[in-house]
Structure 1
Amino acid sequence: MDIIYLIGAGLAEVGLVFCMKRASGFKQLFWTVGTLFFATVSLTGLSFAMKTLDAGVAYSIWVSFGSIGALVVGSLVYGEKLNTKQMICVALIIVAVIGLKIF
């Protein structure tokens, strides 16, 4: 169940990044409310996951979901470019997180 909570928290983190970008420094009320909503959902999911996972492992996995999700959203939604070296670094993050969960 801990992984389900982390996946949900990670997806909420991606929603948080998307809304925060649209909030324009918290000047847009709708997107600001969305940012606060997704932040609450994300941190709640992380908290539930930490009931059964070590804090360091749970937090590291959660951060990686947010980081990779933000890169994907930035690339697909906002047209931000990822170069080859950046994609290699994303792959390393994925390998590291899998290693954290396995070991």
Structure 2
Amino acid sequence: MGTYGYCAPEYQRTGQLTIKSDVYSLEVVLLELISRRRVIDTTLPSNEQNLVTWAQPVFNYTSRYVELADPLLNAEFPVRGLNQAVAAATMCLQEEAEV
């Protein structure tokens, strides 16, 4: 089935691999790079253990994208670049592949 956390929801439901499921997995990796968090981290509180689930509420608010950035960067990064990277992840980490 693939590694938990990287599998696209439609792949978990159908077992069919598609280009879209590959894109989903790639965007999970992008989100890991942005946030410096593991896709699954059981050392965190239960509501923060799954990276995508933790990040999804932020996806709806461009002004909150900086909350996803690696805290070790101390906000020393081009915000426009962060916004573009998070926007790409947002578009590709949808529950429904058609979206």
Same fold (TM over 0.5): no
Bigger Rg, which one: 1
> TM-score with structure 1 length normalisation?
0.41
Question: Higher helix proportion, which one?
Answer: 1
TM-score by length of 2: 0.42
